[in-house]
Amino acid sequence: MNTALTTSNRAIVYRTLGSKHGPITRLMSPSDLGEHLKPFVFLDHFEAESSSFGGFGMHPHSGIATLTWMMQGSVSYEDTTGKEGVLPVGGVEWMQAGGGVWHSSSPTAGTPMRGFQLWVALPPKYENADAYSSYMAPEEIEQDGPARILMGQYGSAKSTVAPPSNMNYLAVNLKAGESWTYLPPAGHSVAWAALSRGTVAVGELADAPMAAGELVVFDQSVGGISFKALEDAEFVIGSAVPHAHALVLGRYSVHTSTEALQQGEATIKQMGVALAAQRRLQKQV
């Protein structure tokens, strides 16, 4: 059962088209919007022909978890928890880096790719714990109305990804003319949405709808958020109880303290030495 307190619409307080770097548009990072939207600290929207994008070679993380949502195409993956395979369209990769992990991904031949990669900050309990990865096939992802539950729980549906703190992350498809209202659970004062395709009116802003590629931030209240597709639309929405910890940043890591960051970076450095000895870092980014 949803526990939202009211269905009144939240206001949009910020909107951005991010910064584009080739096939990747960075909509949120820990040094900017992530500080205001934590535990959500990083969001990339990616879209590319497989022939023009080589993917990401073996690279490390610590202190965070990543969730990759494939909206189009498929990617092959490998990580140092021992998992490898192909993530198909409609699939989800959950990588809880904890104290350190390395992973890689690359598009499969001949398939254009599109989707989102999200980072979430981990609380102290998990930020230097053992790494854990999980890969969900499309049929494993539960749905409530037009919303697929990528992380957390909403309505009658629940994700197999257990969030490290109190948060939801949903993928929504609406046909032109369809409407849907998200009622965030109690305490989810952090909320944002990012549109991959289409045009969507949010709340009363029919004269200033969300454009494809845009991220919007909602005010920190307890209201619902209403969407109406002006054309076929695909977007993601996140909501959460605020992350009550500092963001201490490394190149590939986000931790809650300098000491925790140093521990995580020492671990991934040691893992990198071992991977180099195995000649697995030729394509490191």
Q: Which domain holds residue 139?
A: 12-253+268-277
Rg over alpha carbons for the chain, rounded to the nearest Å, is 18
What are φ and ψ of residue 36, in 5° steps? -95, -20
CB 208 within 8 A of CB 41: no
CA dist 149 and 138 (Å) reads 11
Domain annotation covers residue 258: no
**243-254 pLDDT, tens per residue?**
999 999 999 999
Residue 149 structure tokens? 């539950």
pLDDT at 183: 96
Q: Is 253 exposed, middle or buried (0-12, 13-18, 19+ CB in 10 A)?
A: buried
pLDDT at 6: 42
H/E stretch holding 26 reads: strand 24-28
CA dist 235 and 202 (Å) reads 12
**31-78 pLDDT, tens per residue?**
999 999 999 999 999 998 755 666 678 899 999 999 999 999 988 899
Into how many domains does the chain fold? 1
Which residues of the chain fall below pLDDT 50?
Answer: 1-7, 283-285
Domain annotation covers residue 283: no
Length of the chain: 285
CA dist 110 and 93 (Å) reads 21
Residue 83 CB neighbours (<10 A): 15
pLDDT at 22: 87
- Give the type of residue at 59: H
pLDDT at 43: 98
CA dist 16 and 27 (Å) reads 7
pLDDT at 205: 63
Domain annotation covers residue 187: yes
pLDDT at 222: 79
Among residues 115, 54, 62, 61, the alpha carbon closest in space to that of 87 is found at 115
CATH number of the domain encompassing residue 214: 2.60.120.10
Domain annotation covers residue 80: yes
Residue 78 CB partners (closer than 8 Å, separation 6+): 58, 84, 103, 104, 105
How many H-runs (helices) and E-runs (strands) does the chain carry?
3, 25
pLDDT at 138: 96
Question: DSSP alpha helices (H): ranges in 86-237?
Answer: 124-127
